[in-house]
Structure 1
Amino acid sequence: MTTTRTSNFFHAAAAAAVSVALALGATVTQAQPGPGGHRGGPGMMAPGGLFGGHMDHLLDAVNATDSQRSQIEAIFKAARQDLASQRDAGMKLHQQMAALYTAANIDAAAIEALRVQMSAQHEVASKRMSQASIDAARVLTPEQRAKVSEIMKKRQARMAARQPG
């Protein structure tokens, strides 16, 4: 995986975690199950703001104040910094996995051990982004979180309608 693709993975994961956590913040208070995640794309860190137009659009839709936007941006900036070292480690793990699969003899035990390491790394990143998402959700009011939840439900319905089947 290239540096750009790895970086984009973490940015996309962050955007998905934010959207889901904000939606969950609203639905948990209503004792309802929260929605699932969604995939982001390579433009998530475009110059348009936190995660490009996506996060700005979400914050615009809930009339977030400049203070709320600054706080949320700081929360995710800190999370990105915390996870920066994992990007290099993740690239090395992916390179090792590629080498194992292209070796003359396939070592199933080594592949499994590496898979376990990769899963552990993903779990650490997921936990960190989940905490950042919780912190971001706490910046918004209950009414704003309810609005985010509605936006996410509509987005999920649109995505589900596009699925074949």
Structure 2
Amino acid sequence: MPVNFPDHARDTQVMPSNSFPRLLFRWTIFSTILFSGCSSFETPTPRSALNYFRDGNTAYQKRDYPTAIWNYRQAIVLDDETPSFYYNLGLAYFKSGDYEQALDSFENVLEMEPDQADAHYNTALVYYRMRNSDKANRHYNRYQILIEQQSPKDPKSV
């Protein structure tokens, strides 16, 4: 009785005996490309708060206040304990006309450094622009007291 063979191909492939070296060569090439490619992808070095602060200063000097604000805020995200970051952020907000945010920034400075004369001066200026003369006068008076304490005494006036 004749055997009936199916007239379709088998689903499994058999490798010829000489294909192993080719397979090994392909695997070597593939793994070399794969792993050497991974080493060429360098992770970006994280930016420091100081880098953002400097970029903010550069943008501020160019009067690009939105960019300055963005950079100062990034610096604060990385380091929220440096008063100068908040101070410069307050200046940028003030220059851009956002007095509420400027006030918030200067108040942060004064929480960290209550005797920071320039922060009192700028806080007074913000309150003045917001038409709050009582608070403006209070901060301006504090500014004057701090400036007097910081300035050397003239020996002739003693």
User: What TM-score do you get using the length of structure 2 for normalisation?
Assistant: 0.24
User: What TM-score do you get using the length of structure 1 for normalisation?
Assistant: 0.23
Larger Rg: 2
Structure with more of its chain in helix, by fraction: 1
Larger relative contact order, structure 1 or 2 (CA cutoff 8 Å, min sep 6): 1
